[in-house]
Each structure stands twice: as C-alpha cells, then as structure tokens.
Amino acid sequence: MPSDGSQTPILEARGITKRFPGVIANQDVSLSISPGQIVGLLGENGAGKSTLVKMIYGLYEPDEGEIYIKGSPVKLSGPRDAISRGIGMVHQHFQLVPVFTVAENIILGDEPHRSVFINMKKATQEVARLSEQFGLEVDVNARVEDLPVGAKQRVEILKALYRHADLLIMDEPTAVLTPQETDELLQVMRGFADNGVAVIFITHKLREVLAVADTIEVLRGGRVVGTTTPSQTDQAGLAKMMVGRSVLLAVDKKEAQPGEVVLDVEGLSVATDLGLPAVRDVNLQVRAGEILGIAGVEGNGQRELVEALTGLRHCTADRMTVAGKNTLGQSPHAIHGMGVGHVPEDREKDGLVGPYSIADNLVLNRFDEPDFSRRGVRNRSAVGALATELVQEYDVRTPSIDTTVESLSGGNKQKVVIARELAAQPELLIASQPTRGVDVGSIEFIHSRIVAARDRGAAVLLVSAELDEVLGLADRLVVMYDGRLVAEMPAAEVDRARIGRLMAGGDH
C-alpha cells in the first residue's frame, strides 16, 4: 500500500549531516515516510544506516538538518522522547529482561495499575489484543528467556506497538531469523502497513527488501546514493548500488575434487543443556576438497553437533576421527591442534574476546605455539607480524592491529575469526553460520575464502540457516531435522521445494 502523497509524512528528515571525529557518518541525508509505508534502508556495514536511525530514535543529535515528526520540527532528547512521539525501535540485540514474562516485558515503564499495584489482568488482555490485531503470536505468560529468537523479536515488536508506535524502526530484524520466521515477519510487516503503521526496515538482504519494501533507500559512505522501488530494480542492481561495483551474488567455484575422508563420525549422539537428545545417532563423513553443507531450521541439533565435533560439548559416538586421529573425549584445544578450524555461530560469545586487540584475537588458539611464545613468554613481534599480514590478506577494515575487536563492525569481526581459523591451514574447517549479520561485500569475500580453503584440500563442514548459502557453497548437502540427518544429495541436484519440506520434517 504505497502512500498517496497527500498525507502528512510521519517522519521527514531533511539534509541530515552527522560527523564523528574523523568521519562523516551521514551527509545531507533526506528521507520521508508516510503512514503505512515500508521503507527499506539498504547499505553495507558502515554506510551510515545505524547512525541515521539512531538520530531518528533520539540517541544522537544531528549536526545539521532537521527532523520533522508528523509535520512539526523536533529536537529529540532521547529514546524516551522518541517513544512518546510514536517512534518505536526493534533492536538487533533485544532489549528485553530475560527473566520477565512476555507481558511484564511489554508493559515495563507503562504499567496498567490500580494504585501502586500492577493490574496484570488488564496487561495480559491488552497484550493479547495487540498480538491478535497484528498477527504476532506469543504466549503472554511465558518467560522471555525460554522463547526462541523469533518469539523474542515478536515481543520487542509488541512492546513498541503497546507504546502506540506509528513508526517502527527495525534494525536488521531478519539477521537472527530462520527462513520460515523471516517470511512470517515480512507478512507481519505488510500487516503493519495495512494498519497504518510505517516501517523503516534496515537490512542487507536484497531479497527481503525487494519482497516487502514500498521504497528502497540505498546508503553508501553516509550518503543516499539511490532511491528506488522493487519494481524498478533487482538484486544485482541493488548490490551494485550498495557496494559501488558489480558484486557476485552467486558463489564462483569449480567442481569439487573430493579426496580422502577427513572427518569420520559414526553413531554420534549429543544431549542439550537440559539433557534432552539433540543429536541422534548421526553418521557423517567429509572428504578433503569438498564442502558438506548442513541445511536445516535452527534448533534441530546443528549447534550441539558442531560443539560435539569441536570438543565443546560432551557426546557419545562409536567413532569420531579427523584424518584418522581420534577426537572423541579430547579437549577443544587438542582438537584444534589436530587441524580442525572452527568458525562458531556466535562470534561475539564463542569466537572472539571483545576487549582484546585484533592481534591477540588472531592467535587466540595458537598463542602457545613455538612461533608465538617461548617458555611461556609471548613473542609480541611475531604475533604483530602475523596480524599485520592477516589484516591485509583478509581485508579487515581497522585503524590498527591493536584496535580492540569489540569496536569493529560485524563483518570485520567475522573476518578476524575466519582469518584466524584459516591461517592455521586446517585439514577440517567447521563453519557455523559464517556470514550471519555480515554485509554483502564481506559475504562475497568470506565465501571465496571458504572455497579457496576447499581448493587447497581442506574438508569443510558448513552449517547455515541460510538455505541460499548452503545451496551456493556446498558440494554435497544433508538436511538435519530433529537431531537426525534425514537426507543427503549432491548440491547440483537439489530441489528447493523438497529441501523446504525436509527441513520442516516431512517427505522422508
């Protein structure tokens, strides 16, 4: 439902400029959004999307330019001010209290009450009403920490709607979602539009923005480099606008040359933290020079499988070997020493030490090798030399190798992880969600590196919730459902619809 142009825009930004020391984050950016309109905000990491929406949400103040909300110029004093003017934001990192119930989270700060007591009944009813109106299904009484990611996000959205948001800013909402959840969310966003709620949808997934946006604003280097609509462009056109050059969206790779079996697993079973079976009697072989992709909806045992293979989780198996060496019951460090590289799905939590420098992070699992330390004393110059080389080779955009990793963007953090794991020349690379939350340009780079590792003769086990990624990268593909590998096929013979059914547990 595109706007008819006669309405007062909910939000208008005119000539916004924001400078930080040394950088211009936004330069002369203008933007207008009408009720019920969905604006896709597209751009690489560092293009200025976040800065722009932070100004709209009152977290930053623009240096130049004006923001108009419903026709009147405003100077927002902070998020609370923005919220009270009907602007809601769904953050990438959920701002929810894990131990609270859904209802408690939603009403926090604006509680229905009788004198000092919270009127929980009224709160529950109100949340249930919103949930129904916008098709956002949640269990009002569930504790947020027990909910899957998709449901947490619905709670975030409901929280904004409860505060009568008529403009919702969604910061990369699909980065954490499975394909099914993504489709549902896109549906929900159309529902907002039908209810007159406007949406700013930040993403770097081209397919999604084309599917749902009314207009698309492309940012690059802090400027709006193009305004378009889904009917006027396609994925290749958008990618070119974003990056400023043509981008290969498909992975460019040669036919695989599978060699010896590297990873050999038989009868592997793993339990969840709660002791429930997560991986059930899995047999798996990955050969040198091939990429085996595991497709599946998240939460079907992929995480536990990867943690078992890398020694991070206790497991039972009849056989678990890498290049003939037993890895069962070995420590993660020992398994790494046998030539296993691991790109964990949660780089912030399991892949990097945020407050450490890039250089230190690059030797996080090799610090004790003779090259990098002697008799317990670190060899700083060797670490520095390696870091300088890797930062260059892997195109990590950073002022220096001593910069802390936590100050890097998502894509650059991931490049640090990939660089570290590949620099050790692993015989087996286990890559879990290697491009989650990473921009288009970096995805292309990371994919090419994984393929290069394969061509060098490494065995690669790729786990991804992005079906496109698995299909594009893998030479051979298995589908994981409910802890079992339910089907195997060469990637060349894949029928998307059949995979979709297998991922949902049907079509055995």
Of these, 32, 34, 105, 357, which contacts other proteins (CB under 8 A)?
105
Q: What token pair was written down for 219?
A: 């940012």
Compute the least distance from the CB of residue 258 to other proteins, in Å: 47
Residue among 417, 394, 415, 416 at smallest CA distance from 341: 417
Residue 477: strand pairing partners:
293, 489
Is 104 a residue that touches other proteins (CB under 8 A)? yes
Compute the least distance from the CB of residue 300 to other proteins, in Å: 27
Is 109 a residue that touches other proteins (CB under 8 A)? yes
Of these, 80, 129, 374, 380, which contacts other proteins (CB under 8 A)?
80
Q: How many whole angstroms separate alpha carbon 76 and alpha carbon 330?
A: 55
For other proteins, give the closer residue by CB, 116 or 276: 116
Binders of other proteins in range 113-132 (CB under 8 A): 113, 116-118
Q: How many whole angstroms separate alpha carbon 145 and alpha carbon 348?
A: 19
Residues in contact with other proteins, counted by CB under 8 A, come to a total of 22
Question: According to DSSP H, which parts of 244-379 are helical?
Answer: 302-309, 332-337, 358-362
Judged by CB under 8 A, the stretch of 75-83, 341-349, 411-419, 485-493 that binds other proteins is 75-83
Q: What token pair was written down for 265?
A: 């697993």
For other proteins, give the closer residue by CB, 161 or 479: 161
Residue among 138, 365, 178, 145 at smallest CA distance from 273: 145
Judged by CB under 8 A, the stretch of 103-111, 173-181, 306-314, 472-480 that binds other proteins is 103-111
Binders of other proteins in range 155-184 (CB under 8 A): 159
Q: How many whole angstroms separate alpha carbon 106 and alpha carbon 157?
A: 9
Is 348 a residue that touches other proteins (CB under 8 A)? no
Longest dimension (CA), the chain: 75
Q: DSSP secondary-structure letter at 200?
A: E
Secondary structure (H, E, C), 445-497? HHHHHHHHHHHHCCEEEEECCCHHHHHHHCCEEEEEECCEEEEEEEHHHCCHH
Is 59 a residue that touches other proteins (CB under 8 A)? yes
Q: How many whole angstroms separate alpha carbon 269 and alpha carbon 315?
A: 6
Judged by CB under 8 A, the stretch of 106-114, 166-174, 179-187, 438-446 that binds other proteins is 106-114
Compute the least distance from the CB of residue 52 to other proteins, in Å: 16
Is 77 a residue that touches other proteins (CB under 8 A)? no
Order the strands of the 428-432 sheet from edge to edge: 340-343, 428-432, 459-463, 291-295, 476-481, 484-490
Judged by CB under 8 A, the stretch of 102-110, 202-210, 305-313, 482-490 that binds other proteins is 102-110
Site string for other proteins, 81-100 (x = CB under 8 A): --x-----------xxxxxx
Judge contact between 265 and 450, C-beta under 8 A: no
Compute the least distance from the CB of residue 91 to other proteins, in Å: 8
Pair type for strands 476-481 and 459-463: unpaired
Is 111 a residue that touches other proteins (CB under 8 A)? yes
Compute the least distance from the CB of residue 253 to other proteins, in Å: 41
For other proteins, give the closer residue by CB, 170 or 417: 170
Judged by CB under 8 A, the stretch of 111-119, 274-282, 417-425, 436-444 that binds other proteins is 111-119
Compute the least distance from the CB of residue 115 to other proteins, in Å: 9
* CB count in 10 Å sphere of residue 383: 21
Q: DSSP secondary-structure letter at 9?
A: P
Q: How many whole angstroms separate alpha carbon 45 and alpha carbon 235?
A: 18
Compute the least distance from the CB of residue 476 to other proteins, in Å: 42
Compute the least distance from the CB of residue 144 to other proteins, in Å: 10
For 393, the enclosing helix (H) or strand (E) is helix 380-393
Which amino acid belongs to residue 50?
A: S
Judged by CB under 8 A, the stretch of 104-112, 304-312, 431-439, 444-452 that binds other proteins is 104-112
For other proteins, give the closer residue by CB, 83 or 465: 83
Using CB under 8 A as the criterion, which residues of the chain lie in contact with other proteins when the complex forms? 59, 79-80, 83, 95-100, 104-105, 107-111, 113, 116-118, 159
